[in-house]
A and B are shown apart, each in its own frame.
Chain A
């Protein structure tokens, strides 16, 4: 066998598994060893399920040996964000509220991973209930950026990003409500995709903001991401917001990677003020490469995108305040008795105070305010109208171009603790990723190199119309071949 298991792409692992040059047990064990060696420093995993992963690996190997026709990724291990419920191992959402909770059911995406034979290595770290852009809001300590462990890996899917970037897993699932897949992907130099809203089932994904949440793949290459996308996407009758249409041909698009004649729009609103020069420069180089490869690059204005953060920070907390009401210490989760003989109401209030972290409480209170009578129209109602305007901006833009591009995030990874005291400055990090969630369109972040000023990875975001996820994979695959993204040699 000639491949280095932990640095190989998932696609090449799949080939090696298919031609018998390696086994799933060997691959899975190699990743488990890698996790054992580096995760103490990274804290990317909240739970490692060595036994479960190896059991799946053995099963896949046996079935393959018996000549059974298996799914492409059968035997290739994956890590799952701990916001996604799994039987047989705990799901905490990064919160003390759910410490030790073992769900009695699998999320649809997990069922699909199991059916396709992907060993699940474990559950990855995240900002509590996916609320944050740095992973510092995890109740179990932050995951760290393998490029510089004094820095954040981004969030909220920071654990998945760090694990994939540090070769602890070839693949991972994340969730993205305002950029939570794309931003950490950018911060750690990997590929992350937020599919079209409704493209992947949310059943079993602990809801943060129902109208914004979406599960998506995180991987080291565009093709690897597409392979996972194909496994988890598609209609699910258990999710009423799931789209009943064929999954876009993402794998084919990722293999194609041809931008000649493709019309690419650079979002004028993103890249100026507030964007780190090193990020801007890396982005500009990427756009030049696309043009050289034959894309028709134009600048496009989306005037309402600048109000995305304001709308997002009303819609999201409103839905959060309602979605997180179920964590009340009655049926599952942490129960705190504030005193002898406390009432249910008092136990709820004490448990929610003890079980939720600051950021979660901040958003719940903000959302409670935005929905309360007398303020609904001014806040929630107005914010939902801004969504319509942002969706119209997308529609208008996609009449002119096939895909939009922007930097994924305004900065490269910052130091742990740097923005902890200023929630608002943290919120501004999501400026470029949020419009896609508000409008439901898909987005992909591709690593395009290291910023000259910080030496840290920079991501370029592609955006496409709803259900045209394949366009993202096609454009990103083309750019992926052209950029010089260095490989992480060592966790520092």
Chain B
């Protein structure tokens, strides 16, 4: 494999080529049991503790379909505006790999449960329609740990250790039709689409949809064609891109790489590629050749799936409001500007803000905390904002303390520290850290007197009618009381004493 491909800068590439993308997203369902057996699906369990003859592919074991998984598949299909097959089958995809216990994956081939759908994503205020080719049911593989190499990677490993807890967990594979959008938008449309699918899965409640844990995985297929032509070029398939940002980077990288090959008169090889988080590059994996012959055939051990129209309609009635409509509704309810809304969505904080508002906080305050204080912390810690150990209810409690005048914004930051550090509820943190503002006149009065005594010239100005100078004295009181004074009451006392 040649490694000397020149990368053409993205913008430069777009002057000569148009990218065509295809996205294949695997969604791990959050069912209690696996696709074809009753094993539990708890993430992070001890190795090989969630296995049975079926998911270990032991001789004689037979699969039985999880009804909830079919239900989720249909609901996903409906949410993506797909047609739902009135009769379809599972198929065996035959290939050998140690993480696949039967050496075939039970999947769907030419008869997917859902097909011919569409959805819309928004990028910079512009709406793009993504056509969905199909959404089908299949099962996940086990996980291998490569031992003996330097970095736990497969290359150079002397052997591998296999854990089949994940083997057989239900997956829905969602495949788009070719996505043809203006080249400069392609990376962000790809990212927005995957992000949109995540929102959709969460709204449906069918998956944890966490890219960091692999419950949402994206494969990015990309080809280039010369500007003005219509036939598709040869595509590369970048596998298991595991963050939204990486989806965007993978598209950019592949555009640059393909352009480099094509500019040099070469031809792109149809192959699987791997994305490298470290530098945003991709490298060649398996070459797709005619050796890749999956010998699909209908799974004889499973009965066909023929969802009745009544069942499908029942499931349609359970669909949540489509994310785009919901965003529009919330924006008007909250009185957010377009920019406010975009920032909120962009920060991945929409649901958090919504839940905070639902818990009684004003939209402005909810936005302020999530997009300010908490977004900053999530950035610093490099975690998704939703992963911060604080709930919308806790944020609402902090704001209600502010509204009651018991703490101020500055003290609230310490309360956030305490809650995030697991010190308990907002109330408990306030009590334990002694953060409540002092509005007791006795203590405040003494501090005000002290401040007046310490700043006679300022006091004189106020006496002379320069009320705005009170700020300096308030600051001095606050300093004395380490921020825990009720600023409004302090101001009143100063003005009383100096009038």
Residue ranges of A at the interface with B (Cβ–Cβ < 8 Å): 84-85, 91, 93, 98, 101, 103-105, 107, 202-207, 209-211, 237-241, 318-319, 321-322, 325-328, 330-332, 341, 344-345, 348, 368, 371-373, 376, 380
Contacts and interface: CB of A to CB of B under 8 A. Distances in A.
B297 A322 contact: yes
B250 to A, nearest CB: 28
Given A105-B58, A322-B297, A344-B160, A240 B302 contact: yes
Nearest to B95: A325
B225 interface: no
Nearest to A236: B62
Contacts of B290: 373
Nearest to A327: B59
5 closest A-B pairs by beta carbon, nearest first, are A325-B103, A371-B295, A211-B300, A210-B300, A204-B60
Given A84-B60, A239-B62, A345-B96, A326 B293 contact: no
Given A325-B96, A326-B102, A371 B64 contact: no
Contacts of B59: 85, 91, 93, 98, 101, 103, 206-207, 326-327, 332
Contacts of B296: 371, 376
B88 to A, nearest CB: 15
A240 B64 contact: yes
B102 A107 contact: no
16 contacts: A105-B58, A202-B60, A206-B60, A207-B59, A209-B300, A238-B62, A240-B301, A241-B300, A241-B303, A321-B295, A330-B162, A331-B57, A332-B59, A373-B290, A373-B295, A376-B297
A372 B98 contact: no
**Residue in B53, B102, B290, B300 whose Cβ sees the most chain A Cβ within 10 Å:** B300
A178 to B, nearest CB: 15
A318 B297 contact: yes
Given A240-B301, A330-B98, A344-B160, A372 B295 contact: yes
A435 B125 CA distance: 64
A205 B301 CA distance: 12
Contacts of A211: 300
B297 to A, nearest CB: 6
B307 interface: no
B472 interface: no
A237 B92 CA distance: 21
B121 interface: no
Contacts of A344: 98, 160
B94 interface: yes
Interface in B282-299: 290, 293, 295-297
B336 interface: no
B64 A322 contact: no
> Interface size for chain B: under 10, 10 to 19, 20 to 34, or 35 or more residues?
20 to 34
Contact of B60 (A203, A331, A341, A348): A203
A325 B104 contact: yes
A241 B290 CA distance: 34
B300 A105 contact: no
A346 B261 CA distance: 34
Nearest to A212: B300
Given A240-B301, A326-B59, 11 more contacts: A85-B59, A103-B60, A105-B61, A240-B62, A241-B303, A331-B58, A345-B96, A371-B297, A372-B293, A372-B295, A380-B297
B63 interface: yes
Interface of B is mostly: loop
B56 interface: yes
A239 B64 CA distance: 7
B468 to A, nearest CB: 78
A182 to B, nearest CB: 21
B354 to A, nearest CB: 42
Contacts of A205: 60
A209 B94 CA distance: 15
Nearest to B64: A240
A101 B293 CA distance: 31
Nearest to B92: A322
A376 B65 CA distance: 26
B24 to A, nearest CB: 20
A319 B162 CA distance: 27
Interface string B301-320: 11100000000000000000
Nearest to A98: B59
Contacts, number: 106
Contacts of A345: 96
Given A210-B300, A322-B104, A330-B162, A371 B94 contact: yes
B101 interface: yes
A287 B64 CA distance: 43
Contacts of B92: 322
Interface in B24-66: 53, 56-65
B58 A103 contact: yes
B155 to A, nearest CB: 12
A107 B60 CA distance: 8
Specify which of A211, A326, A368, A372 lies most central, judged by the most chain B CB atoms within 10 Å of its CB: A326
Contact of B96 (A204, A348, A380): A348
Interface string B53-92: 1001111111111000000000000000000000000001
B82 to A, nearest CB: 25
Given A240-B301, A321-B295, A368-B295, A331 B101 contact: yes
Contact of A207 (B60, B101, B158, B160): B60
A1 to B, nearest CB: 39
A206 B103 CA distance: 15
A85 B301 contact: no
Given A207-B60, A239-B62, A322 B295 contact: yes
Contacts of B60: 84-85, 103, 107, 202-207
Interface in B184-241: none
Contacts of A91: 59
B19 to A, nearest CB: 29
Given A203-B62, A240-B303, A371-B295, A331 B104 contact: no
Given A319-B300, A371-B297, A372-B295, A326 B103 contact: yes
Nearest to A107: B60
A240 B106 CA distance: 14
A75 to B, nearest CB: 27
A107 B162 CA distance: 26
B62 A202 contact: yes
Contact of B94 (A101, A207, A241, A325): A325
B62 A328 contact: no
Interface in B96-149: 96, 98, 101-104
Nearest to B36: A240
B297 A204 contact: no
Contacts of A84: 60
A156 to B, nearest CB: 15
Contacts of A371: 94, 295-297
Given A105-B53, A376-B297, A204 B98 contact: no
Contacts of B64: 237-240
A344 B146 CA distance: 12
Contact of B103 (A210, A237, A240, A328): A328
A327 B104 CA distance: 12
Contact of B63 (A103, A240, A332): A240
A372 B95 CA distance: 12
A328 B293 contact: no
Contacts of B101: 326, 331
Interface string B257-293: 0000000000000000000000000000000001001
Interface string B444-483: 0000000000000000000000000000000000000000
Nearest to A341: B158
B365 to A, nearest CB: 54
A98 B58 CA distance: 11
A351 B59 CA distance: 16
A139 B65 CA distance: 35
Contacts of A238: 62, 64
Most buried by A among B62, B104, B158: B62
A321 B301 CA distance: 14
